[in-house]
Structure 1
Amino acid sequence: MIEAFLQDAEEKQTKNTSVKLWLERLEVVAYKAVDVLDEFAYEILRRKVEIRNQILRKDLVWEWIL
């Protein structure tokens, strides 16, 4: 449904400048949304690595003590 809507809008952009402007703005918003999702995925991965490193450090300390 969305693809059909966008296809129709793309065809109309050559005739209607407001549709062209709307599509350009939509593209900017879509890229920003992808950036937000990328940052979110990065933060999840960063936290997983941080937790893993904390666990490994604790294990190394205990191995050294024992």
Structure 2
Amino acid sequence: VKYLNRDGKLQEIEAEGLMATCLQHEIDHLNGVLFIDHISKLKRDMVVKKFKKLARDKAGNKAPGKLVG
């Protein structure tokens, strides 16, 4: 990854493993990419459905359901 340091000097870092994952996560933020954009349509639809149910439950003052299950 190439970047500018605090002094505006071009730097480059090579990463793997957790550090690479963290860098990609932060770069995704800068590019407007969300975690949900990386999952399959089927899983994304399931997550959206669960969030909608949680919102309905909250609006109806019901106990919130499980998000992960």
In the superposition, the TM-score normalised over structure 1's length comes to 0.34
Structure with greater strand share of residues: 2
Point out the structure with max Rg over C-alpha.
Answer: 1
In the superposition, the TM-score normalised over structure 2's length comes to 0.33
